[in-house]
Amino acid sequence: MNRRVEPELLDELPPNDPDAVASRRDLRSLNFLMGHAAIVARVLLESAAQPPRWIVELGAGDGTFLLAVARRLARQWRNVEAVLLDRQNIVAERTRAGFRKLGWTSKLVQADVFDWLARSPEEAFDCTIVNLFLHHFPDVRLRKLLSLASERTNCFVACEPRRAPTVLGVSGLLWMIGCNSVTRHDAVASVRAGFIGEEIMALWPKESLWDLRESETRLFSHCFVALRALKCVGDDK
């Protein structure tokens, strides 16, 4: 299967459209079923020499994914600022309250990821995470995104759909667990645009020193981790 990037319906619907609201609910269930928050939290804990001060999620959607990650980290990591960047402004007050309850703060940034990464290069983050986000971009754009992100972080963790016939088959069955038509369309499109092998690694900037890992994870997922080699996360504190 060659990688094929197509528009996703959730990206085009107005945030308050009932189908978009239902699809984001489906996305929360699918993230839970795929165990992505646990995967990302585990990688972050393994990677950080010290608790980070800032974590940013690019393409954070309604913010519930980073909150689920934060819930797994909060016992060890206190006083972290979670930066939630998305084109849409859809983070509910109860999600922000969820961060406060953990002793974390949250900052919302409504912006296009390319504009934001290019615009404020002085802002740097201990950890950058992305979940079901990189697959939105064709390789040329993705290379640019990874290059910009790599200048701003010490640790980059991505959890994406695996582009495999079995995963494509399962994504066609989401009606069985009640997912709506938007989710069903976007799930198939996401798998076709997903990753295998070392495809993300091949787009990561070559010139700098990074420890890179990329692999299939669990049944449906594909993960990429980049750790700045000569610097431990949290060293800047």
Q: By three-state DSSP, how is residue 15 classified?
A: coil
Of 55, 60, 82, 227, the one binding ligand SAM (CB under 6 A) is 60
CB hemisphere CA count around 27 (13 angstroms): 27
Q: Is 192 in the site for ligand SAM (CB under 6 A)?
A: no
Query: Smaller CB distance to ligand SAM: residue 60 or 227?
Result: 60
Count Cβ neighbours within 10 Å for each residue of 150-180 and write b for 16 or more, e otherwise. Answer: bebbbbbbbbbbbbbeebbeebeebeeeebb
Query: Smaller CB distance to ligand SAM: residue 73 or 234?
Result: 73
At its nearest, how many Å lie between ligand SAM and the CB of residue 206? 24
Query: Smaller CB distance to ligand SAM: residue 130 or 164?
Result: 130
Q: Is 211 in the site for ligand SAM (CB under 6 A)?
A: no
Binding segment for ligand SAM (CB under 6 A), chosen from 38-46, 85-93, 167-175, 219-227, is 85-93
Of 31, 150, 154, 183, the one binding ligand SAM (CB under 6 A) is 31
- Give the count of residues interacting with ligand SAM (CB under 6 A): 16
Inter-residue contact 129 to 57 (CB < 8 Å): yes
Q: Strands 153-161 and 210-217: what pairing? A: unpaired
Distance CA 38, CA 73 (A): 10
Detail the DSSP E strand segments found in 11-124: 54-58, 81-86, 105-110
Residue ranges binding ligand SAM (CB under 6 A):
11, 27, 31, 59-61, 65, 86-88, 112-113, 131-133, 136
